[in-house]
Amino acid sequence: MSTRRATIADVARTAGVAPSTASVVFSGKTAVSDATRQRVLDAAAALGYTGPDPRAASLRRGRSGIVGVVVQGPLGTVFLDPVTRLMMDGIADGVAGLGAGLLLLRDDVRDHDAAREHALTTAPLDAAVLVGCNPRMRDSLATLRGRGIPVVVIEGDAGEGVPRIDLDNREAQQQMARHVRSLGHHRVAMVALPRDAARERGWLVPGDTITVDVTRDRLAGMREEFPDAGAFAAAASSIDEGLIAGRVLFADPATRPTAVLAQSDLLAAGVIRAAEEAGLRVPHDVSVTGFDGVNVDGLAPYELTTMAQPAADKGRAAGHAVVAMLEGRDAASFRFTCTFHPGNTTAPA
């Protein structure tokens, strides 16, 4: 059809006003007489002009209205985790005031050079949130900061000058461990989140380096109360992984733990299934605790004894931090606290 979309200049011309006036009609930055406004609007309608081109506006304003969310791994698996989902919602909420959209960026090992670098260096971001920062994320962080883009990190080691949103993982897990100990348990084991990017399943041994902060901190919290407890790392946070780990823990009736502390609710749900499978009743024969406080779909009638974390609030805080930085204020780091949620999955030893 038409060879070219109408521009605001075209609209202004047919309306018989100056481009700047037409611009103001759309942006609302200055008062315009009703008559003029109407003429501009009519002209726009006639030409099929639907509003300023965001690209041009963005160049001129120096803002794109886009906040990047950098996650690791395929988008599909990212959203497997209920905590991440909640955080995303929180972030969306937190930046809502900007009218900004969330651009999903993946920081993946594959296509290390090509696509990743591409999007990260090339996307028109006003700011970015890094989720679950691990060593690999450091590169992304560097790239972003190099571009002068304000960054907020959620649960990760960010380095100097980067606002971070944190959780009292260690203290919370310790609190849970204390609860379990107060019930009289001594033979306890932990089912841990992945230890590093390789995500290998298996027992954690003392010398291991654990590069995932969350895993390390929750483990440390548990060890505060049970220094000698074994910990089995899962390959992911899922019910199926919890089931696999649980089978390992319950394999030998002679040495099986009387309480299992899982580092996530999903893992805990899997451990419960493993217990059922092994003919153990929860919490009668074995106590199981979770972490996160999310609703595990399909777990009813169990209600997990867990440490509830304010996942959405974390996201929201990150969003607010982003807004603050964009407005020139400086954003403080913030540390959230988990709360103990008693359920029906723990009982005296």
Residue 3 or 209: which CB sits closer to DNA? 3
Residue 76 or 279: which CB sits closer to its own copies? 76
How many C-beta atoms surround the C-beta of residue 49 within 10 A? 21
Min separation Cβ 316 and its own copies, Å = 12
Residue with tokens 């033979």: 187
- Separation CA 241–CA 228 (nearest Å): 23
- Separation CA 168–CA 164 (nearest Å): 13
Residue with tokens 């979770």: 290
Min separation Cβ 20 and its own copies, Å = 18
32 lines the binding site for DNA (CB under 7 A): yes
Min separation Cβ 54 and its own copies, Å = 4
Q: State the Cα torsion 118-122-124-126 to the nearest 10°.
A: 80
Residue 210 or 269: which CB sits closer to its own copies? 269
User: Phi then psi for 302, rounded to 5 degrees?
Assistant: -70, 145
Number of residues that bind DNA (CB under 7 A): 33
Q: Tell me which DSSP letter residue 263 carries.
A: S
- Separation CA 240–CA 236 (nearest Å): 9
SS3 assignment, position 151: strand
Identify residues 36-95 at the interface with DNA (CB under 7 A): 36, 49, 52-53, 55-57, 59-62
Binding test (CB under 7 A) with DNA, winner from 1, 2, 3, 31: 31
Binding test (CB under 7 A) with DNA, winner from 2, 3, 33, 209: 33
Residue 8 or 229: which CB sits closer to its own copies? 8
Which residues lie near DNA (CB under 7 A)?
Answer: 4-5, 7-9, 16-24, 26-27, 29-33, 35-36, 49, 52-53, 55-57, 59-62
